[in-house]
Structure 1
Amino acid sequence: MGESCSIAKLFDDGSSFALHQTWAFEFSFNHFPGHCVLSSPFDSALFPAYSAFRDSEPLFASARRVNRFAVAPVNDRFAVALGSSRNRFRFMAKGNFGERLKRERELREVSMDELTKATRISTRFVQALENEDWAKLPGGIFGHGFVRTIARYLGLNEEALLGEYDLARAEHAAAAPPKLEERIPAPPKWLPVAAVLVVLLLLAGLFYAGRYAWHRYAAYRASKKSAAASSTMQPQSGSGSAGSAEQSASNAPLDLSISTSAATRVRVFADNKLVLDAELPAGETRHYSAKDNFEVSAGDSSAVLLELNGRAMPPLGAPGTSGRIVLSEKDLRP
């Protein structure tokens, strides 16, 4: 009646049986007379806790499966352990990286404070590993260094733990939604056309401004030459000579020279008689004579250069606009 026996309690986690806890104490059953021991065979050093990270193969792979509640004599305690070893492996292999890492630490009764002090890894990094909070963890060699240090302290297989770590991070990266690229909005389609038009307007403005300045400069030079020529003439003595000079000047005909630097329409009246009304091309030169006056008009004032009796006359108007001018003998006076 005083037969010793061992009762190993196994729990079902939904898919396989697993050894839930390591404990031992003595008690007596009315239905099992005698001295009995309720214990787990993994309490002894002969049967250490199995780790999926440390051990490549489950212990006692060929052991027989035991019932949910098994009662055995003390001499059969090891047989109970043999039957539960495969289920022990299945329990440890289940779950993700963070859960398994935390479970391994708790099975060895290593507190968070002890682990961080021994490995000199910040508590927030260890918690981030167990919670798989990858955003708070450094990547590359720093993350691998944390995993290796923790595995070495807990006595786990470093390469196996690193493989689980890399796999978990890769799965997280694959599941994360792709970042939306910030697209730079394309410029409006009319913008290049507007830019070309602005450039053309600037070039046209520079062209007309340069041409107007050149005409003004040519007229200034011509007037200077005419003034110099008249100043070198010797005045004749006596009022009779002066009167005859004025008489000859008044009787002298007016000669008009018209030159064009660009194509434009020109109309010329000589003594109120129309002598020209046509489109003159660039580089054209025409000469006309009159007794009293000339009336000249042009579609582009800056495209026409006038000379009266060899003296340059002022432009007809502003560049790019039409203009009109009347020339007579008085325009030859200094």
Structure 2
Amino acid sequence: MSIGSSLAEARRSAGLTVAELSAHTRIREALIHAIERDDFSQCGGDFYARGHVRNIAKVVGLDPEAMVHEYDELHGGVPLPVRAASVFQADTPIKIRESRSPNWTTAMAVALAIVVVFAVVKTMGGGEETPTADVHPAVPTSSMPGEGPDTPGAPRKPASLAAGKVSGPVVLQIRAKRSSWLDVKDMSGKQLFSGTLEAGKTSVWRTDKGVKVIFSDGGAVSLQLNGKNLGAPGRRGQVVNRSYGVPASTPR
């Protein structure tokens, strides 16, 4: 399959429309349609096309680096680094008066160019998502204690909690620290919720066996399972699939 076909199929498998994907990635819908047709001419060059492919792959659940590598293989390899002069161009030539300290002037010009390049690269990397899908009614609950930002290297949760295994009925509470798209089903496949949980909102689902959840941003929410804090299910911007509860027993 081509890059565009792979991205389009992964998007449909994730249950996302082009409009929802555009909201997640901040990439225009028309440009997403073009990329899914393997038309990268509207991206503005390989540097920007690679960034778009990486962002889309991350949201739809594909390996971003593998997709970018495939793009490089089809388009002549990794592009050369962007020169600062090609990013920062003044409308009129900048005249620098001669002074007794030319080294300071050169150093300031180089520092300014580095800041501009950093800002451009950060902008192309995308920002926080602002999904626009409708939110289904949810049961409000009190704020979850002990919430905080995800910290790399923090102590891991006990295996039983991380795996979401509990005994008896399952009560899963999800609180959105940032607006985030969710897909919630019970163990039989019945749809319980599909949409965006707005920042600051909390929803609770109760089932006899358990639930399966797809998180579009693993770091945007925090969880409680039967009253126990599980924290965030993944990293910021990571698409995560999780199951919570006791799987059906196997007949002997």
User: With structure 1 as the length reference, what TM-score do the two structures score?
Assistant: 0.29
Structure with the larger helix share: 1
Q: Tell me which of the two structures has the higher relative contact order, counting C-alpha pairs closer than 8 angstroms and 6 or more residues apart.
A: 2
Larger radius of gyration: 1
